[in-house]
Chains A and B, each alone.
Chain A
């Protein structure tokens, strides 16, 4: 299988006062061309750290990459020349949609200034910089015109009314949904192969969320862009993803096509997680226990202290990836097989 992005055995620690927090513990992840992959898990499970590690924007002082590789089109981004990655990959081949559209714009510049600044360096028409980017470098007028046309087209595609006038406005003049549309436009403009979207609809109301999810899925499918979509909302993941990867306490537990993920989850954690979604019959099932601390986490499979099926084997070693039918993979010593009933 030729993957666009493939993460293997990635280990990241964060330095804390009480010792290293093992935030990612040998994580594997694949994203194929044109595929929308959901990365789901609870807060603190490491999904944002994984997204940042792929982008190469981990906080430099606190994070330590202990091992593993992030292969993008076959090349390991962790071992490539950082300047090259900065110029060709980050912000160009791989772009980012942040969680919070409210804080991602500078409040003091019109939207046009901010989008054109991006285009000056990251437009598909911009050549590959030989020197480090300098604020004194001119923006060639020809290219500016062409880029501005592309910006207007993309704003139309994300359904911003009157794009030329919208560009002159300040960020606070847009609603949250509109700002997230602008963010999507900015992520699409460099014509990336992969967009990393970090909980892009969490801050939005459901009706706006539905509009944005539909728009995002339509645009990326039309352009053949892959998306890595992190979310803690399983409903959102169901709406937008082709495949879902679930993480728990810094380990990936299961990866499955969306249908199989919701109907035949093989990992006990996935089953517990799905069961804790409020059901229409009013029954509420939680997962006993608490998410472990990542400073001195449980040995082996990190879910074992809360797992009904845990044995000595689970405490001793982390299970190796096991392939099930239909591109479904699980890391569990005792995977489950029976399909589960789905509430309508």
Chain B
């Protein structure tokens, strides 16, 4: 699926998103550096995985791209156009091409609206289609997500969780977006349900020529779905490259620990050999130099003094002095 076209669909350049941390009197005392200088390109038709532990900034990155947060600094280019600082009216037009799927998309349906109402709404807002055209469009998309027409007249509570999820996906697809950001779309699901959801994402990607940014902390899922992955730690990308290459030989010590921590069925127990100590520091108090140095087995003085740049290394990019 990785077919590097000449121009990336989405280009993120040195993107920064800081949140103010306020004391009890509402005075800003510090910045929480959720996303702190991320550069990334997403190519048309690919699925890019964004992995990392909670608090690493992966959701903030997704939401900043989506326009839910405005960037503190840096650039966002979508199909060659700067979208980071557009006025609201202009930004809304971009929303049509850029959609966001929350962890539980079913919960984003209005409980008082019938499915048909929910599915028509985006078309009413963003297009000038007539009622008959809208109906044709909605019917086509409903069958693509595998739901019968009879479901149009039901309320969300009359559907099962899986069907609600399908309706919410249909709602996102009615506008025929080009880039879909999937934020932890399978966390909390059982493996068998997860498998059906992933299958659906794949078939929709083929049908609607979608590009996915797949945010997840589940490395097994990312490995199955994504051709390229970016690993984040405390607001920075530490490693970026082809999934197969990274899984075969991770270069950054954090990626190595992360992969070593995933239970592997059928082998030796990985927890027997797992050595990473401690927990990620608070993103409000980021260590100097390399952010991972406080937990890194390879850390030296240079790591505290200098922040390692994300540099090119046999076809991937790694931010480590010793990679």
Contact = CB atoms under 8 A, between A and B. Distances in A.
B224 A205 contact: no
Contact of B266 (A211, A232, A276, A342): A342
Contact of A280 (B223, B267, B280): B223
Contacts of B269: 238-239
B137 interface: no
Nearest to A203: B54
A206 B191 contact: no
Contacts of B263: 210, 213, 233, 235-236, 238-239
B54 A239 contact: no
Contact of A276 (B53, B191, B225, B272): B191
Interface string B181-199: 0000000001111111011
A342 B267 CA distance: 9
A202 to B, nearest CB: 8
Interface stretch (B28-36, B124-132, B166-174, B214-222): B214-222
B191 A273 contact: yes
B279 A208 contact: yes
Interface in A200-235: 205-211, 213-214, 217, 232-235
Contacts of A233: 263
Nearest to B263: A235
A337 interface: no
Contacts of B265: 234-235, 238, 262, 274, 277, 342-343
B302 interface: no
Contacts of A239: 263, 269-271
Nearest to A277: B191
Contacts of B7: none
Interface in A313-340: none
A214 B272 CA distance: 7
A175 B53 CA distance: 14
Given A278-B195, A282-B225, 16 more contacts: A177-B279, A206-B258, A207-B274, A207-B276, A238-B269, A262-B266, A273-B192, A278-B224, A283-B224, A285-B195, A286-B196, A287-B192, A287-B195, A290-B160, A342-B266, A344-B264
Interface of A: 42-43, 175, 177-178, 205-211, 213-214, 217, 232-236, 238-240, 262-263, 272-274, 276-280, 282-287, 290, 342-344
30 contacts: A42-B191, A42-B192, A43-B190, A178-B279, A205-B54, A206-B53, A206-B217, A207-B276, A208-B53, A210-B261, A210-B271, A210-B274, A213-B271, A214-B271, A233-B263, A235-B263, A235-B264, A239-B270, A273-B191, A276-B191, A276-B194, A277-B220, A278-B195, A278-B224, A278-B225, A282-B224, A283-B224, A287-B195, A287-B196, A290-B160
